[in-house]
Structure 1
């Protein structure tokens, strides 16, 4: 589908890549006291930039409105199980309240 080695931002759009790199340096060199601008870990950014963002997964794990969500279900169920364990809860909902929060 895509040549992943050649489909990096640096290769496809060097100007955008440069701006992203400059923003990254700005965030690394300054302390940000605005909660919504908290520095995100590389692991979280990798997950948010993964193929999972290509999938519309309305509903809940195992009960989706559209097919092809089996791997999204795995990730969401892991998140649910981890939140339940962390808080000692019987149930948890890890879905955002709206698309703007997603």
Structure 2
């Protein structure tokens, strides 16, 4: 399922001074059950990645003199990145963490 309606992305993009129509074009590939928490962790994580990706797309457009490429974020990839310490293995084992 693809979701393009995200007020967290729009708010973050507006806070950076980005034009609103670009934020509305960010699409999210929804994966249910990732980053489950009482706080809106999933929304914050996907908005963070979406806005960073949108900034990179806008930079590419400025360099090439064309339109910004489409931005599509897969929530499964976002969840893996935000919980990457759980997936890291050194010599086949999880490393000892400091916290």
TM norm. shorter chain > 0.5: no
Q: Which has the higher contact order (CA 8 A, sep 6+)?
A: 2
Q: Which has the larger radius of gyration?
A: 1
TM-score (norm 2): 0.29
Which structure carries more strand by proportion? 2
